[in-house]
A and B are shown apart, each in its own frame.
Chain A
Amino acid sequence: MKHLIHTLNKAFDNRVRLGVMAVLMANESVSFNELKEALDLTDGNLASHVSALEKVGYVLVSKQFVGKKPNTTYQASKEGKAAFQDHLAALEKLLRG
């Protein structure tokens, strides 16, 4: 059983990061506020986890301005989607034992 646990992706061992990826899998492109709303988080908490996902290349960030307000949207990268699918498969494998 122990070796199976190690197949789980370290980037997803946190609920917030897993949640961010889940939202980005279900939606093409999501703004910071939508993400915050969907996961019911504070700005700081979400920002740190999103930037962790960005660093490993799972999340693509694009910044635009709507008028004077900055609007940041996030997308799951190809690698991020694949890693998330692998993570789900590993979880299912764990369940089946």
Chain B
Amino acid sequence: MKPATDPLAQLTEIRAIMERSSRFLSLSGLSGVGAGVVALAGAGVGHWYLHTQYGAQAFLHLVEGSAAERRAALPFLLALAVGMIGLALAVAFFFTHRRAAQEGRTLWDAPARRLMLSLALPLGAGGLFCLGLYLRGAASFVVPGLLLFYGLALLNASKYTLDEIRLLGLTQMALGLVAMLLPGWALIFFALGFGLGHIGYGLLMYNRYERAPRPTL
């Protein structure tokens, strides 16, 4: 290797190495858009199912109904949640894998592992906690709880990836707190946070980093 003598080139390279080695930068904005579309579709399916099962006041019915009724709806809700998470992850993986390949980067490097772990731990704990809320009669806190824990997980993971993820996390947390005050609007807040939130920030990131040629710094 040639010694880098040009100070500007050296500084540029140092900065790039420091960024790349500590943050996962190949995250594609289209991953967010895809995950948002999946969330909106999931909210639609959930809405449709609950209405055909329990009528117009379906959500209140579940929240205020008996534990037995909530348990009866659980298999559907869990299957929907697992399906949505699986589909959203698959879409996110597809676009991020594509971007990493285009930029000639490895997808599964040390920052990527740290990013996944720092997301998975708070999300796993939050998911179980929300399941507990649902089963123990505090179902109206499930959607606010999911938004809040997801926001905290993003906030935690944002130090290993693009800065926009921190703002997305703060947005989800704010939506979660407001959703707590408006229990009848849970599905709307779910669609706002997991659907439009992802799509909005995804488009922002796509426009900023992927559409135009990426700045070298």
Measured CB to CB, the residues of A under 8 A from B are: 13-16, 18-19, 22-23, 25-27, 30, 34, 37-39, 88, 91-92, 94-95
Contacts and interface: CB of A to CB of B under 8 A. Distances in A.
Given A16-B1, A38-B109, A95 B7 contact: yes
Interface stretch (B18-26, B50-58, B65-73, B167-175): B18-26
A18 B20 contact: no
Please report whether the interface of chain B is mostly helix, strand, loop or mixed according to DSSP.
Answer: helix
Nearest to A28: B22
Give the dominant DSSP class at A's interface.
helix
Contacts of A34: 21, 109-110
A69 B109 CA distance: 20
A91 B21 CA distance: 21
B13 interface: yes
A37 B107 CA distance: 11
Contacts of B11: 88, 91-92, 95
Interface of B: 1-4, 7-8, 10-11, 13-14, 17-22, 106, 109-110
Contacts of B21: 22-23, 26-27, 30, 34, 38
The listed residue with most B CB atoms (<10 A of its CB), out of A16, A22, A27, A94, is A22
B109 A19 contact: no
A37 B22 CA distance: 12
A14 B18 contact: no
Contacts of B17: 19, 22-23, 26, 38-39
